[in-house]
Chains A and B, each alone.
Chain A
Amino acid sequence: MTNHIHIDEHRDDEGAKTGMWIFIFTELLLFGGLFIVYSVYRYLNPMAFHLAAEELDVFLGTVNTVILLVSSMTIAMAITSIQLKKKGLTLILMGVTILLAIIFMVNKYFEWTGKISHGIFPGSEILHQSSQGEILFFGLYYAMTGLHALHIIVGVGFIGYVMWLVKTDDVKHDDYVILENSALYWHLVDLIWIFLFPLFYLIT
């Protein structure tokens, strides 16, 4: 009875994609919880949210929005190019995506450190002297953009891993579902930012 049994590798691309989509639904509801909190507190403190939002830099926010939109396009194009069997172009497009993500994070870094150097961070003296609505606004600002940034980092890791698979030809023109899934994940990050941007930067 020493038979080594192993189950045949079973490949189901559509199933993998279904799984990814359901995971995206979970992620949407994860942020959904925060959006519920945001909408309630905004309803309760409209003026404070209005004033607090003016502290944020619309220009920097717009730049980051553009960066994410472009990166979403490049990763979408990467799927087209792998379907057309252009390995080099795929790698370049994925690399550009990662590069844009890093630029986004650098911008985010300057934005956060700028706020912190002005004394606006949870538990700070200045924030404790401002109105309760402003405390809530900045609490949500740090939590939501922070969680979003965490997703960017995970996305960069995911896309980087798939780039390695493309390089070693484990992902090719007839087997690229993991590339599609990483792209779906990246679009999710973009999708959430599309809502974070107006809710934090544009409600002045």
Chain B
Amino acid sequence: MIETLIQDSNPSFLDYKGRFKGLMGWIFSTDHKRIGLLYLYSMLVFFSVAAILGLMMKLELMAPGKTIMGAQTYNSFFTLHGITMIFLIVVPGLPAVFGNFFLPIMIGAKDVAFPRLNLLSWWIYIVGAFIALSAQFFGDGPPDTGWTFYAPYSFRTGTNMLPAVTGAFVLGFSSIVTGINFIVTMHRMRAPGMNWMKMPLFPWALYGTSWIQVLATPIVGVTLLMVVLERTLQIGFFDPALGGDPILYQHLFWIYSHPAVYIMILPAMGIISEIIPTFARKTIFGYTAIVVSTLAIAFVGYFVWGHHMFTSGMSGVALYTFSILTFLVAIPSAIKIFNWVATLHKASINLQTPFIWALCFLFVFMIGGLSGMVLGALSANVHLHDTAFVVAHFHYIVFGGTGFAFFGALHYWYPKMFGRMYDMAWANIGLAIFFTGFNTLYLPMFFLGMTGMPRRYYDYVEKFHGPNIISSLGAMLMIAGLIIIITNLVRSTRHGVKAEKDPWKGKTLEWTVDSPPSLENFEEIPVVTDHPYKYD
């Protein structure tokens, strides 16, 4: 009886009745958990679309010559695939979904600092997404510049660039608003007793990420604005005919877009730092080193943008500087890998699905990171620039890093988010198929790139045929794995077994609240006295 009374006074965030009912109760809710799920659902939709585009491109590459689409369609497909995946999924992905949902809970707060701004940022995200995607449906054909919008082609091409560029500009605001919100939340709303060095590592990663979001996004914002002005009003900025320098566009674009890679990967690293100690049943090795390396990545990552432009015609001095800085930024990433592996040493490992995702992350992230070192070397880069090698590298980092961490986090926090457990067996089967497909898809591309196959081409010579077939088969296998994983997760929101408060016996604050959490997360704000990962 008492049990039900307590239940009644604290309905979960999925059940409570607010000012609005039904769908309205979600899209006008300022609850950080509902906003997190809103982002999750919108991203799942965009992700499915972009993944299908990717699959179609791989099908086109099954055989030389035109198989299912022509050159212009292929151009618009990789552009849309890039814009959607980068601006709509991996850049906002982890902070907007898991940051929104878990940051306040993990630092012992009832919500973020500015809940209404938080909702606004989701609305900006949706508006930006619609503007960007509307480019496909009207005007003079879908954009064909690739997601980088390189000048001068981006204002010379006859295709419908304006909505795509404007959409990316608007999406930047969403990112900035989320960043401001998270920084203030962490500065002002940590539970009593939780000083900076007692904050869990996922919030720490979000702190670094938020600063990059706040400080790098405006630069790309104003750059895209310049492209818009150049296209509409013929103001000379980057057009060589008007005295502009197209390489300056590349500088400005990558001043944001390289740090954006760290916006993608830092929260992923934070999530891995949460999953590993929980399933290793052991304190994380070198907490301080991880925190410092997070901030170091955020800082050094701001100054390596030039390694995207090694063949663009920069000066020699700039080439050397950017190459050295690129190698430097690998150090803090490596420190983290060593810390995770050291945590596993002599641990009593509890081999569950989220942990297997984390292990897969380590594997693919290592491949991605080391191939990045190959590209960071100037002489190798000249050979490999704009080949399939680069595509393989950044898919290992962005999909292998952020994507694996995303699914890992989803499996780790799923019982907390939905209050139910997914089917473990199907989750593992899906993961196995996905992981096999992933490597079959991208490993041959390293080889293709080394032997000279350029990226962004819908056609190739006969000698690339073999690896391309393997790669395309891998793509199908990977999609099959994804379907199993997502079906299992969606199905379990209704049919899964009820989850307990702390199914993995984790130690951070989110495991002390109900599954799913109540509206205000905590009945009473907890007082923190100890380190977040105290297992022994």
- Using a CB–CB cutoff of 8 Å, the interface residues on chain A facing chain B are 1-7, 10, 12, 14-15, 18-19, 22-23, 25-27, 29-34, 36-37, 40-41, 44-45, 122-123, 131-133, 135-136, 139-140, 142-143, 147
**Given A15-B188, A18-B188, A40-B248, residue A123 in contact with residue B234 (CB < 8 A):** yes
Most chain-B Cβ atoms within 10 A of its Cβ — which of A2, A7, A23, A139? A139
A31 to B180, CA, bound (A): 18
| Cross-chain contact B252 with A33 (CB below 8 angstroms) | yes
A122 to B252, CA, bound (A): 22
Contacts of B236 in A (CB 8 A): 122, 132, 135-136, 139
Besides the contacts A1-B16, A136-B244, what 4 more A-B pairs have beta carbons closer than 8 Å?
A: A7-B115, A36-B251, A123-B235, A143-B237
Which A residue's beta carbon lies closest to that of B217? A26
A15 to B190, CA, bound (A): 12
Contacts of A34 in B (CB 8 A): 222, 226
| Cross-chain contact A37 with B233 (CB below 8 angstroms) | no
A131 to B19, CA, bound (A): 62
Q: Which of A3, A23, A33, A135 contacts B223 (CB 8 A)?
A: A33
Contacts of B9 in A (CB 8 A): 3
A131 to B15, CA, bound (A): 67
B120 at the interface (CB under 8 A from A): no
What are some 7 contacts across the A-B interface (CB < 8 A)? Answer: A3-B9, A7-B519, A7-B520, A19-B184, A33-B255, A123-B234, A135-B236
Contacts of B19 in A (CB 8 A): 4
Contacts of A136 in B (CB 8 A): 236-237, 242-244
Question: Of B106-114, B382-390, B526-534, which stretch is located at the interface?
Answer: B106-114
Q: Which of A10, A30, A122, A142 contacts B218 (CB 8 A)?
A: A30
| Cross-chain contact B214 with A25 (CB below 8 angstroms) | yes
A6 to B16, CA, bound (A): 10
| Cross-chain contact B215 with A29 (CB below 8 angstroms) | yes
- Using a CB–CB cutoff of 8 Å, the interface residues on chain B facing chain A are 8-9, 11, 15-19, 110-111, 113-115, 176, 179-181, 183-184, 187-189, 214-219, 221-223, 225-226, 229, 233-237, 242-245, 248, 251-252, 255, 519-520
Which B residue's beta carbon lies closest to that of A31? B222
A132 to B239, CA, bound (A): 10
A199 to B222, CA, bound (A): 19
**Given A3-B16, A37-B248, residue A19 in contact with residue B219 (CB < 8 A):** no
| Cross-chain contact B229 with A143 (CB below 8 angstroms) | yes
**Given A3-B16, A30-B221, A37-B248, residue A18 in contact with residue B235 (CB < 8 A):** no
A7 to B229, CA, bound (A): 44
Which B residue's beta carbon lies closest to that of A15? B188
Contacts of B252 in A (CB 8 A): 33, 36-37
A41 to B17, CA, bound (A): 58
Q: Separation in Å of the B530 CB from the closest CB of chain A? A: 26
Which A residue's beta carbon lies closest to that of B216? A29
Return the 6 tightest CB-CB contacts between A and B, nearest first.
A132-B243, A123-B234, A33-B222, A30-B218, A15-B188, A139-B235
| Cross-chain contact A15 with B218 (CB below 8 angstroms) | no
**Given A22-B180, A33-B222, residue A3 in contact with residue B11 (CB < 8 A):** yes
A41 to B183, CA, bound (A): 35
Q: Separation in Å of the B401 CB from the closest CB of chain A? A: 26
Q: Which of B218, B237, B244, B248 contacts A27 (CB 8 A)?
A: B218
| Cross-chain contact A45 with B243 (CB below 8 angstroms) | yes
A6 to B251, CA, bound (A): 48
Kindly count the residue-residue contacts between A and B in the assembled complex, taking CB atoms under 8 Å apart: 127
Which A residue's beta carbon lies closest to that of B242? A135
| Cross-chain contact B234 with A122 (CB below 8 angstroms) | yes
A140 to B233, CA, bound (A): 12
Q: Which of B15, B111, B187, B219 contacts A15 (CB 8 A)?
A: B187
**Given A26-B217, A33-B252, A135-B236, residue A19 in contact with residue B15 (CB < 8 A):** no
Q: Separation in Å of the B150 CB from the closest CB of chain A? A: 16
| Cross-chain contact B15 with A1 (CB below 8 angstroms) | yes
A140 to B9, CA, bound (A): 60
Q: Separation in Å of the B12 CB from the closest CB of chain A? A: 10
Which A residue's beta carbon lies closest to that of B7? A1
| Cross-chain contact A12 with B188 (CB below 8 angstroms) | yes
**Given A5-B520, A26-B218, A29-B215, residue A143 in contact with residue B226 (CB < 8 A):** yes
Q: Separation in Å of the B376 CB from the closest CB of chain A? A: 24
A123 to B222, CA, bound (A): 21
Contacts of A10 in B (CB 8 A): 110
A131 to B242, CA, bound (A): 9
Q: Separation in Å of the B21 CB from the closest CB of chain A? A: 11
**Given A3-B16, A122-B236, residue A135 in contact with residue B222 (CB < 8 A):** no
Q: Separation in Å of the B211 CB from the closest CB of chain A? A: 9
A27 to B229, CA, bound (A): 19
Contacts of A37 in B (CB 8 A): 226, 237, 248, 252
A32 to B220, CA, bound (A): 11
Q: Separation in Å of the B188 CB from the closest CB of chain A? A: 4
Contacts of B214 in A (CB 8 A): 22, 25-26
Contacts of B215 in A (CB 8 A): 25-26, 29
| Cross-chain contact A2 with B17 (CB below 8 angstroms) | yes
| Cross-chain contact B242 with A139 (CB below 8 angstroms) | yes
A133 to B236, CA, bound (A): 10
Q: Which of B8, B18, B229 contacts A4 (CB 8 A)?
A: B18
Contacts of A132 in B (CB 8 A): 236, 242-243
A37 to B238, CA, bound (A): 10
**Given A22-B214, A132-B243, A143-B235, residue A4 in contact with residue B188 (CB < 8 A):** no
| Cross-chain contact A23 with B180 (CB below 8 angstroms) | yes
Contacts of A33 in B (CB 8 A): 218-219, 221-223, 252, 255
Q: Separation in Å of the B108 CB from the closest CB of chain A? A: 14
A27 to B19, CA, bound (A): 35
| Cross-chain contact A44 with B245 (CB below 8 angstroms) | yes
Q: Separation in Å of the A106 CB from the closest CB of chain B? A: 23
| Cross-chain contact B114 with A19 (CB below 8 angstroms) | yes
Q: Separation in Å of the A150 CB from the closest CB of chain B? A: 11
A19 to B229, CA, bound (A): 30
Q: Separation in Å of the B402 CB from the closest CB of chain A? A: 23
A147 to B222, CA, bound (A): 10
A37 to B219, CA, bound (A): 11
Which A residue's beta carbon lies closest to that of B243? A132
Q: Separation in Å of the B32 CB from the closest CB of chain A? A: 11
Q: Separation in Å of the A40 CB from the closest CB of chain B? A: 6
